Structure 1
């Protein structure tokens, strides 16, 4: 939890403390924008000191992100600029991946981006692997539950636009919206499974459409506590819609999705909402 407080003689120093470990699994991305905004505000009033224990990884990551945002530098350019001042800076690989994601999102943390949603899903998978209990309170809202409109809030053009939804074929309840779909880079089709095919001289077709949707975990999904994998059934009629596996599933296109919450396209109809 970030803490902002006034300290020092006469309480003239404003300090932000961000409790982060210097590990590749640590989620620094969600703290980036508050930290960068804090630096911006501090520079208007005076000087800003950014520090961690060694000044090598965590603080270097924050300063690199600040250079990227304020000077529109790529990750490589910003890191090179910082190394000209302090050649010992060396963000860990996990932080570098998050900085690259920050760059790909346009030097901001766009929580609606599929890139960000894949990142959050990866964090959930990592939490599961280290034995943390994952309850559906951290899952995304159920798109099948109608939301009451706020009469005082004017909807934007984007919010008014029709959206694609995927409905259970049996009872027509909404199982997922297009916003919940996690995109992935297609693999090489059947050739990705060549290791499993012992027949000699077999040829494979590289072009293959994905037969499933891979979505964010949603609140209607109720995997049993501690279950590594299992079925995903419609919460309304009980029809089987797909499968989940915290260790991942290989799509028929050949690409691995980890963790995976899969809905079979043959089990749903496409509509608009």
Structure 2
């Protein structure tokens, strides 16, 4: 079919460009807002489109296209169209109302060329933002991939041909993990996760032609500028990696890349700690080499502690990491630091854990508030 209504209470439709060739069908469904996820101009010579609210976003249906940055604008447009209708685009007082005001609520049509990938991506983004609990929000068992798959299955109930490309599906997963930010049109662009994703694409483009990236993003500086707290989670300790020779801290937990070996069981112990690019690497990375050695930033030490490769490399445990900034486990020490608690109760707990009983005289007595003289 040229267009299909998404199951639910919203008067939301998805389809291909051919649906716009049937203006009377749009009129019957009271469709007042049209989102074109394609370069498209409405035929305003047709009465049905004269007062239609229209937004066109030119995106190619290719896996490497950035549709993520446009999701807030598309979601806000859909929500505005479903809930507030549309104001007349004509300033003429005698302009005809092009789309009939039937008893059905205002409708929104989201379309691309075939109604299969781009438009479906926009609709899924809206559903995840509007109805997160429907697809597994606050359910710790449901993974991000399952959430997006559930939303796609929901669309397929009435649009069986719906099938966003793999790149768009991955971006929908990022959209969900970000919390579906749509408080402004540029909400996604303000997210640190989006900036890291963009930077990773820059690195991939550079290494594809055998070059180091022109711009280097140091994650510790990026977190400081975004006012995020890089400290470890309270109560869970904080892992630090220190140079084995001089004890200089090289990285702490927020900047250690999660790494799980995929090799054979006998090589399950990984000889590397992979970390993000950090500011102490600046003198080395700004040399512009594609790969090289990492040196301890302590000038009195300067020990060789690992290596880097912008194009990435495969760890001996079987995991491929790109870009790769690796510290050798034989060159660094992993230290777990805990927040100190010097209170009397904490001391008593530690002594009790050692089997030592504290004398009664050491117990804290309640502080009495002095009485006022009457």
Band of TM-score, shorter chain? 0.5 to 0.7
2:250 is paired with a residue whose SS is strand
Using CA pairs under 8 Å that are at least 6 residues apart, name the structure with larger relative contact order, 1 or 2: 1
Q: Against the structure 1 CA distance between its residues 142 and 102, is the aligned structure 2 distance closer, same or farther, given a 3 Å change threshold?
A: closer
TM-score relative to the length of structure 1: 0.65
| Larger Cα-atom Rg | 2
Shift of 1:43: 3.5
> Gapped runs of 5+ residues in structure 2?
1-43, 45-50, 86-106, 136-146, 182-187, 340-374
291, 294, 301: which one pairs with 1:232? 294
In 2, distance between residues paired with 1:215 and 1:44? 46
Is the deviation greater in 32-41 or in 69-78? 32-41
Query: What is the aligned residue count?
Result: 242
Q: Which residue of 2 aligns with 1:44?
A: 83
For each residue in 1:157-215, what CA deviation from the matched residue of structure 2 results, as whole angstroms up to 9, or x when unmatched?
A: 947975322223344333212111121332123xxxxxxxxxxxxxxx43521121112
Measured in 2, the distance between the counterparts of 1:245 and 1:269 equals: 22
Instruction: Give the TM-score of the pair, scaled to structure 2.
Output: 0.50
Q: How far has the Cα of 1:89 moved from its partner? A: 3.7
Q: Secondary structure at the match of 1:266?
A: coil
Q: Judging changes above 3 Å, is the alpha-carbon distance between structure 1 residues 24 and 226 closer, same or farther for their aligned structure 2 residues?
A: farther
* Cα gap change, 1:159 to 1:124, in 2 (>3 Å): farther
Unpaired runs of 5+ residues, structure 1, are: 1-7, 190-204
CA distance in 2, matches of 1:155, 1:140: 10
Shift of 1:268: 2.3
- 1:268 and 2:332 aligned: yes
Q: Distance in 2 between matches of 1:183 and 1:269?
A: 17
What residue is the counterpart of 1:65 in the other structure?
Answer: 125
What is the match of residue 16 of structure 2? none
Which among 289, 309, 325 is matched to residue 245 of structure 1?
Answer: 309
CA distance in 2, matches of 1:156, 1:48: 45
* CA–CA separation in structure 2 for the residues paired with 1:53 and 1:133: 37
The residue correspondences of 1:214-225 to structure 2 (distance < 5 A) are 214-222=274-282, 223-224=285-286
Counterpart Cα distance in 1 of 2:195 and 2:313? 17
SS of alignment partner, residue 221 of structure 1: helix
Distance of 1:154 and 1:255 partners within structure 2: 29
1:126 paired residue number:
204
Deviation at 1:24, TM superposition (A): 1.4
Say which SS state the counterpart of residue 259 (structure 2) adopts.
coil
Alpha-carbon offset, residue 133 of structure 1: 6.0
CA distance change for structure 1 residues 164 and 130 in 2, over 3 Å: closer, same or farther?
same
Task: After superposing the two structures, state which structure 1 stretch, 55-64 or 126-135, moved more.
Answer: 126-135
